[in-house]
Amino acid sequence: MPIGTLLVSQGTEGTAMEYEQRREAWAQVARCIAPTNAAVVEAVVGGTNDDPFDDLRWALNDEGLSAYIDWRSDPGEIRSSLGTLRTFPRKFGWRWFSGFVGDSADWEAGDDTVSLLEEIGERCLGSGSALLSLELDADGYGLTVVDVEHSERLMQLSAQSGRQLRLVRVGAWTNGAHKSGQRLRTAQEPSTAAPSARLRARAVKRAAGADRVSRLMNDTAERLTAAMAEAGFEISEALDGQPAEVFQGKQVSLRNVWFTLPDSGVPGMTAAVVAKFSRRGLGFRGMAWLGSAAAGEMARLVSQRGLSGDDLLQLVTFAHFDNPNDSSRMLFFFDESDYDIEMFMRYVHGPVAEWLAERDSLEKLLELARSGNSMHVLDRVNPDATRLRAVAVLGLENNQPNAVAALMRWYLARTEFTPSDSAESAAVFDAALMQKYPAYAQARAVM
């Protein structure tokens, strides 16, 4: 089903309707916005706020269907906030975005926000989506996503409840296309709005073809490498056993560029950041990675189905920091400007640095080994089997047999494990540790 974007904001309260009638009107709005999400509708129908609109917007926020954008928001923040919405179009094209950022660098605060939202609104219409606005009692906008087929009905329902949704598109924020007899375009009907000079220029650039994409990918990788070196990282060979490059014909279709920190904080552990470039996806993803050669050696020695057989201790994608339920989303795109590289580095210096700092000592790792892993889809509660095993090996490599014995004794006494592990598999691993590390066998014998 085509998806669009709805800006929800609050204006003057309607006085012509009784309380229950207004609540029912907003309940119908909720059914149009989130037809498959019963929680949103229930929140409005059974809400306790004097204004049912407040119940709606908070429910949308709680369900990951809306986001608040301040009028002075940075374009990158707007793009990131929209991308975290659960129903935002995953194939929405952002290749024009860096050009917009460059063109709007000298604009007054707020002007770029309005123009960016109009640009997004126009592009949503071209893909079967509608961007609608209703002013909030705040200096900003609330955002949620709807199908273009629902937009006219939503504008009608909002008008009945004393508020007015408005269609957002390039050049004007109208009071509802249905009132002027203008039919909303569908995905099959391209926009007739004249493209701006910057968009025409970028269309010409995109027409250069495959060679340009390859050049952009290579150039972006070089500039990112320079930025990572400046941040203290070193270029590295691939550490996960996967090829650094994958070819499609004569062209490199996938490229993984690895960067390591000189000191992870734990002897024998490697801390790395990986940039995974996709020529077809026209962009790259980021990933933070922790591993240990000794742990990898033990994992290959005790090969157990479902568990990592490489040096992995734990990894996390950059997208996971924004939305744990959409960890594979592309965040960064090829371009001649440095905008996406700067965004990548913001993650490196921000959430990635914090994530690594939470794992920069053996004591922290031993404690973390007893918890679940939020990156896992099937089980985020029980201890991560791969991480626990790697931490156990690291502990023994760093002469901590008693601490590791306590960890394994606790783990073997459990009755619940992740789908990739079991009490039997854990016992096999425990026996292998005792065979390789005599001090561990002695610690286990007395505990």
Q: Is residue 356 part of a domain?
A: no
pLDDT-derived band at 153 (thresholds 50, 70, 90) equals confident
257 inside domain: yes
Between 355 and 92, name the one with better pLDDT.
355
Q: Are residues 24 and 159 in the same domain?
A: yes
Average pLDDT (2-13) is 42
Strand partners, 312: 291
State how many domains the chain has: 3
pLDDT tops 60 at residue 63:
yes
Pair (271, 328) in one structural domain: yes
Same domain, 308 and 438: no
Which comes out higher in pLDDT, residue 182 or 378?
378
Residue 354 lies in a domain: no
Please compute the mean of the pLDDT values over residues 208-218 and round it to a whole number. Answer: 70
CA distance 346 to 334: 17
Residue 37 lies in a domain: yes
| Same-domain status, 21 and 107 | yes
**Span 404-435, pLDDT tens digits:** 999 999 999 999 988 878 899 999 999 999 99
Task: Say yes or no: 156 and 78 in one domain.
Answer: yes
Residue 333's region, left for phi above 0, alpha for psi from -120 to 50, else beta, is beta
pLDDT interval class at 187 (50, 70, 90):
very low
**CA quadruple 85, 87, 88, 91: dihedral positive or negative?**
positive
Model confidence at 94: pLDDT above 90 = no
**Does residue 352 fall inside a structural domain?**
no
Chain centre to alpha carbon of residue 315: 15
Last residue of a domain, one of 199, 228, 244: 199
Host domain of residue 375: 362-446
Higher pLDDT, 37 or 413: 413
- pLDDT one-digit tens code per residue, 98-117: 777 777 665 655 567 778 88
Residue 420 token pair: 């990739």
* pTM of the complete model beyond 0.75: no
Same domain, 241 and 146: no
Distance (Å, rounded) from C-alpha 234 to C-alpha 155?
A: 54
Pick from 199, 222, 252: which residue ends a domain?
199
Average pLDDT over residues 229-256: 82
Q: Which pLDDT belongs to residue 432? A: 93
Copy the structure tokens of residue 242. Answer: 């996967």
- Shared-domain flag, residues 54 and 138: yes
User: Is the predicted pLDDT of residue 400 greater than 90, yes or no?
Assistant: yes
Higher pLDDT, 249 or 213: 213
- Cα separation, 353 vs 391, in Å, equals 20
Residue 353 falls inside a structural domain: no
Residues 47 and 174 in one domain: yes
The residue from 298, 319, 347 where one domain ends is 347
CA-CA-CA-CA torsion sign (147, 110, 158, 168)? negative
Instruction: Establish how many alpha carbons lie within 13 A of residue 118's alpha carbon, considering only the half-sphere containing its beta carbon.
Output: 16
Q: Are 143 and 136 in contact (CB under 8 A)?
A: no
Same-domain status, 11 and 118: yes
Residue 204 lies inside a defined structural domain of this protein? no
What confidence tens digit (pLDDT) does each residue in 305-328 have? 445 557 889 999 998 888 777 666
| Same domain (yes/no): 133, 255 | no
Cβ–Cβ under 8 Å, residues 165 and 146: no
Residue 373, domain member (yes or no): yes
Tokens describing residue 321: 């920091």
Do 330 and 415 lie in one domain? The reply is: no
Are 85 and 158 within one domain? yes
Give tens-digit pLDDT for 190-202.
Answer: 344 444 444 444 4
Q: Identify the pLDDT of residue 249.
A: 57
* Strand ranges across the sheet with 172-173: 66-70, 140-144, 6-8, 132-133, 166-169, 172-173
Quick one: average pLDDT of 217-228? Answer: 92
